[in-house]
Structure 1
Amino acid sequence: MTLSRSAFLQLAGAALVAAPAAAQTGPRMQTRKIPSTGEALPIVGCGTWQTFDVGPSAAEREPRAEVLKVLFEAGGSVIDSSPMYGKSEGVVGDLLAAAGTRDKAFLATKVWTQGRNPGIAQMKESMRLLRTERIDLMQIHNLVDWKAHLPTLKAWKAEGRIRLIGITHYTEAMHAELESVLRQGGFDFVQVNYALDDRGIERSLLRFCQDNGIAVLINQPFGGGGLLRKLSARKLPDWAGEIGCTSWAQILLKFVLAQPAVTCVIPGTGKPEHMRDNVQAGLGAYPDDRLRQRMIDTVGV
């Protein structure tokens, strides 16, 4: 019988749930440096698109609070959100305030609107919702009106309202434009799509970022979710143990993290058991070129 990811993780993670003290004292995930600052950033974070867009009830909030707790206990810090993500910014802000863990979080959000003044208003609202006076990473979402927003972001960085500046997209068709915008200068980060079945970033953009000192956040590392769902019905390959993987999610995350130019991967989840699984990809060995090719051949993409 083949278990789904959720069923497998409920069994495999039972010991962790029963022994939270061990989770606090266990190994902490690896870090990679942000090129523009030299700051060490944990390599597995948490995205909040859809997964944190929930109401105020305890039934909805408590699992998300546990997700953040698991992330922090594993040594992670990156939480990525956006005004585009419904209630997610407010939920994150409320949970961090309630737990007193704002200082553990590397908060990344986005400006996603047309025009300089609407952008300023939106970013101020994001700060209010996130309950913080400073955003660690403010990103221009999906390239929207980037020429209007970039001067504001540079000014806010100089003033200390934000620490780092980024720009994002989620489709391969926009990689060339992303690279063109990054050539204008002023960006510390790019956030972009990359997965075992979505490898367009390897053609040019990843090398450009590595050569030009731009940190890389990866969204959609599970192929938008479709790839992970497809693989969940398959037995783990024998080589999974070579890199310490006990789930397909870990395999997919380690495939992405095998690229040294990738600074952090931000799989989205609102489920503690999935977060416990994801953070394990921040530990141990990563595939070399030979094993990466074997991964591609195994999955058949």
Structure 2
Amino acid sequence: MTSRRDFLTTASLAGAGLALSPLAACARERPPAASGKTTSTSARAGTLAMRAIPSTGERIPAIGVGTSGSYEVALDSPAFAALRDVVKVFFEGGGTLIDTSPNYGNADEVVGALLAEGGWRERCFLATKLAADDQETLERQWAESKRRLRTGKVELLQVHNLRNMAQAWPYARRLKDAGETRYIGLTHFQARAHAELARWMREEKPDFVQINYSPVAPEAADTIFPLAQELGIAVIVNRAFDDGRLFARVADKSLPGWAGEVQIDSWAQLFLRFAISPPAVTAVIPATGKPERQADNLKGGIGPMLSAAQQADVRRLFA
């Protein structure tokens, strides 16, 4: 069965050695699939899809990392030890974008420790957020974020869920002017906020927006994506797995018959390819605390994008 639960690690991931080349993290052998599933009997070649940030032309990989839940672990725990391998797979597989938030428990502290221990900071396109209700707290929160992330600046600073835009957005602009972030953006995670997000996009023209998008929540394709293309705004997709619920819905289902044609052999890869196939999308940020799943996620960014007909087919599967 080609499902997230059944995804098998290979020898290149065994034993937590994980000394992967960029291709090894993204192209690996897997056992034959069950009847009705796509089958790949040899490691496939390919490179991780890259996308340009419209405001500058800088290119970043289309598969990133989110940290909500998976990175909220104790620094002395087995889960943290596993995350060392996760980030090794991610960076050696060509990934760069890690998205976190001071609202995600201790995730930013965990990210800071992982980047420092592994020497990954220079490779990382680090994104975090502002989420506070008054100016003093915003300033204190930003200072604390830098301390916990062990850095003096980030690549992307976002106003989390459009919270306190009257103060948070001008503050983000000031931090960009001061060189403490290269890009600024806005985020939300629910379709009900799309209209408000669109209004702010028109008024402020941020460098980035981050929004939910998946086969069960496809509204952004009809609203946010076209506007982002019109205004030249990068798009990060969150909740591509619908917080993991999509896997339960496909546990006993076969992949579409065309999946092999686009180098997809797991449902995770299909969901991620669906997320990055719209031309407006710059990156998607799935979260995981398991190295084998991180490798599988990266494979979602290798191979042809889904055609309009294939994207529609995926949407119909969950209609």
TM bucket normalised to smaller = over 0.9
State yes or no: 1:16 paired with 2:12.
yes
Aligned to 2:164: 145
Structure 1: gaps of 5 or more residues: none
How far does the alpha carbon of each residue in 1:220-241 deviate from its partner, in whole angstroms, 9 at most, with x for none? 0012221122113322232110
Report the CA distance between 1:120 and its aligned residue: 1.2
Query: Separation in 2 of the partners of 1:266 and 1:254?
Result: 12
Q: Which is richer in helix?
A: 1
TM-score (norm 2): 0.89
Q: Quick one: which amino acid aligns to residue 121 of structure 2?
A: R
One of 91, 108, 119 as aligned partner of 2:138: 119
Q: Following TM superposition, by how much is the alpha carbon of 1:186 offset from its aligned partner in structure 2, in angstroms?
A: 4.6
Letter matched to residue 11 of structure 2:
A
State the one-letter code of the partner of 1:15. A
1:197 pairs with one of 211, 216, 236: 216
CA gap of 1:98–1:166, structure 2 versus 1, over 3 A, is: same
Q: TM-score, normalised by structure 1?
A: 0.94
Q: Report the Cα distance in structure 1 between the residues aligned to 2:242 and 2:294, rounded to whole angstroms.
A: 17
What residue is the counterpart of 2:247 in the other structure? 228
* Distance in 1, Cα, partners of 2:156 & 2:88: 21
1:71 is aligned to 90
Query: How many residues in Structure 1 have an aligned counterpart in Structure 2?
Result: 296
Deviations 1:26-71 (A, max 9, x none): 4541210000111001100010001100012241211111111111
* 1:291 alignment partner, one of 310, 314, 318: 310
- Tell me how far apart the structure 2 counterparts of residues 28 and 59 of structure 1 sit (CA, whole Å): 31
SS of match in other structure, 1:35: coil
Shift of 1:23: 3.5
* 1:223-274 CA-partner distances (Å, limit 9, x unpaired): 2221122113322232110111010010111111110100000011111111
Q: Secondary structure at the match of 1:195?
A: coil
**Alignment deviations for residues 147-167 of structure 1 (CA, whole Å, 9 cap, x no partner):** 101111111111101111011
Give the distance between the partners of 2:92 and 2:274, measured in 1 at CA.
Answer: 23
Structure 2 runs not aligned, ≥5 long: 25-45
Query: Which segment is superposed worse, 239-248 or 51-60?
Result: 51-60
CA distance in 1, matches of 2:290, 2:201: 34
Q: Which residue of 1 aligns with 2:43?
A: none
Letter in structure 1 aligned against 2:71: F
**Letter matched to residue 109 of structure 2:** G
CA contact (8 A) 2:2 2:266 kept: no
